[in-house]
Structure 1
Amino acid sequence: MAVLLPINPEHPEPRKIKRAVEILEQGGVIGYPTDAVYGLGCDLMNKAAIERLYQIKGMQRDKNLAFICPDLADISRYAIVENAIYRVLKRFLPGPYCFVLTATREVPKMVQMKQKTVGIRVPAHPVTQALVRELGRPIISTTAAPPGEEPMVDPWEIKERFPGLELVLDAGAGGSVPTTVVDLSEGEVRILREGAGPTDELV
C-alpha cells in the first residue's frame, strides 16, 4: 500500500523530493501533482517500472505515455525541435500542455508512439519540476485515473485506488481537467485534445 506524504505545493521540502526520487531510482511507481491533474509515474529509463505502471493503472500497452522534462533545454535530447517548433514550446511551456514531437534515439521504444513520436510535458508545478531535476532525467506521466474514468483529484483516493504505488505526494486537491494535447510532429499545429491549456492562441 502506498505511503501518503504531504508536501508543500509551492515550496516542496527537499527531503521529501529526495525520498520520492529514491523510490523512482529503485524502480518504484509514484503519484504526484502536476499543473493539470495528478499523475502516476516512474523513471523513463526503467523498463520494468514502465511495465508496472501499465499494470497498476490497468492500461493497455497501446495507450501512449507522455513524459516530463524539467525545462525546454532538456526536450531537445528526446525530441527533434526545429526553430518553428521551439518558438511554440517557448511560448506555452511551462504549462498544462502535452506536445507530440518526433522522437530522437534517446527515447526508449516502449514509450514511443507508432509514428516514432513522443508526448512531452514541462508542467508549471514546483513539485513536478523538483522531482525531475532531482532525478536528472524525465519521469513518465499518465493521468491518475482508472481507464475510461475522470481524473482523480483526491490524493488519498489515488492511494486507495492504486495500491501498487509506493508513494503518493499529497499537495492538496488536484485539478480535474487533463492537459491540452497538441501534435507538432508534422510541422503544423494539430490539437488532439482540448484540456486545461487554452487553445485560442495555438491555431
Structure 2
Amino acid sequence: MKEEIENAYAVLKRGGTILYPTDTVWGIGCDATNPEAVDKVYNLKKRSDTKSMICLVSDFKMLNEYVENVPEVAYDILKYAKKPTTIIYDDPIRVAENIIAEDNSLAIRVTKDEFCKKLLQKFRRPLVSTSANISGEQTPKSFTEIDPLILEGVDYIVNLQRDKKSGKPSSIIKLKNDGSVKVIRQ
C-alpha cells in the first residue's frame, strides 16, 4: 500500500488524475484545490462543470480547513452514520472554484477507507472523488466494469483491490447554514 500511496501522491502533486478504490465505489480523483486538475476530471467524465463533484477529506480537522462553518449537527451525523455519508456544506473555502456548486456549496465525505485516509494525510488537501464512469452511464460495480476511456484517460491507476466489488454510493445529506437538513440520497 505504501508504494501505491507514493505513486498516487506524485501524480496528484503534479496536477494529474488518479483512478482509485474508495470507501464506496472506484473513483476518479484529483487535487480538489487545483482548477486545471478538476477540469481534467470533468472532461474525462464528459460531465458539465455545472454539476459539482464530491470531495474526500481525511478527518474533521481537514473538513474544517475547507468549510467556513461546519454545522454542529454534521459531527453527530458522521459519528453515528452506519454507512459512508457525504454532506453538502455551504460556503466551501480554499478549493477550486470549478468544483463549487452554483449555490456555493460542496459535497464532502470524511473517508474511513485506510488507503484514502493515508493518501489524504500525505497529500494534505482534499481529493475529488467522483464515480469512475462517463456521465450518464452506470456506476461500475467492479474494476472490470470501468469504461476503457476512463482507464486510458487517467494519469495513474492505483493497483489495489482490483478484485473487490464496489460498495454502494454514499448517502448524501445537504446541511444548510440556516439549520435545515435535506436527504438527497439514502
Q: TM-score, normalised by structure 2?
A: 0.88
SS at match of 1:90: helix
Q: Select which of 184, 187, 191 maps to 2:179.
A: 187
Contact 1:77 1:104 (C-alpha < 8 Å) held by counterparts: no
Deviation at 1:31, TM superposition (A): 0.7
Contact 1:72 1:90 (C-alpha < 8 Å) held by counterparts: no
Give CA deviations for 1:70-102 in whole Å, capped at 9, x if unaligned: 011211111211323332233338x51110011
Q: Could you tell me which residue of structure 2 aligns to residue 167 of structure 1?
A: 156
Contact 2:175 2:181 (C-alpha < 8 Å) held by counterparts: yes
Q: Could you tell me which residue of structure 2 aligns to residue 68 of structure 1?
A: 56
Q: Could you tell me which residue of structure 1 aligns to residue 141 of structure 2?
A: 153
Matches within 5 A, 1:88-103: 88-92=77-81, 95-103=83-91
In the alignment, structure 2 segments of 5+ residues that lack a partner are none
Give CA deviations for 1:165-200 in whole Å, capped at 9, x if unaligned: 112223132325211111112413211112xxxxxx
Aligned counterparts of 2:36 and 2:116: Cα–Cα separation in 1? 22
Q: Select which of 169, 174, 177 maps to 2:168.
A: 177
Deviation at 1:105, TM superposition (A): 3.0
Aligned counterparts of 2:93 and 2:135: Cα–Cα separation in 1? 29
The count of aligned residue pairs is 181
Q: Select which of 57, 61, 85 maps to 2:45.
A: 57
Matched, 1:132 2:120: yes
SS at match of 2:55: strand
Which of 151-160 and 183-192 deviates more? 151-160
Deviation at 1:62, TM superposition (A): 1.0
Deviation at 1:61, TM superposition (A): 1.0
Matched, 1:87 2:76: yes
C-alpha spacing 1:107/1:27, structure 2 compared with 1 (3 Å) = closer
Q: Could you tell me which residue of structure 2 aligns to residue 39 of structure 1?
A: 27
Which amino acid in 1 is paired with 2:184?
L
Which amino acid in 2 is paired with 1:164?
G
Aligned counterparts of 1:128 and 1:112: Cα–Cα separation in 2? 22
Task: Work out the percentage of aligned pairs sharing the same amino acid.
Answer: 26
SS at match of 1:61: coil
